[in-house]
Amino acid sequence: MSLYDIDLTTLDGKPQKMDAYRGKTLLIVNVASECGYTPQYAGLQALHEKYKDKNFAVLGFPCDQFGHQEPGSGAQIAQFCERNYGVSFPMFAKTAVNGANAHPLYQQLKSGKGGADPIKWNFTKFLVGPDGTVQKRYSSGDKPETIGAEIAARLK
């Protein structure tokens, strides 16, 4: 199975195929509204704005597996993200990233260069190349501002 064969659901409940992002460099992030790393939404939005015209996208996947830090509904998450951080990058339905119920996307991400280790916390980031392969995995503590130069170098 290719990354592009995976079915997703948007935050507002609409079906979406990963194939829509074929050929783009992606930063895929499990996010949460009540996490110490939540302010990273601002940096993620800044990366999205800066590079969206260079075939790049940030994709946000709310996750409630870590300390129940994403308790809201899709509508509540969308409102929070827009109101507090002006998020305009694609956001998807709540997603399990670890365990037996891990979403196929996260199973695929962890099978590549990102390594099979369980995701330790919210705001773990996977950099995916235009060919759909994982290029790098970043920890929660890796701020979007510090990885921007690395992303920019890959977009040239």
User: Which residue numbers are catalytic?
Assistant: 35
The CA-to-CA distance between both ends of the chain, in Å, stands at: 28
SS (H, E, C) 35-91: CCCCCHHHHHHHHHHHHHHHCEEEEEEECCCCCCCCCCCHHHHHHHHHHHHCCCCCE
Residue type, 66: F
Structural contact between residues 111 and 138, judged by C-beta atoms closer than 8 angstroms? no
Longest dimension (CA), the chain: 39
Distance CA 28, CA 8 (A): 13
Degrees to nearest 5, angle at CA 25 with 154 and 127 = 80
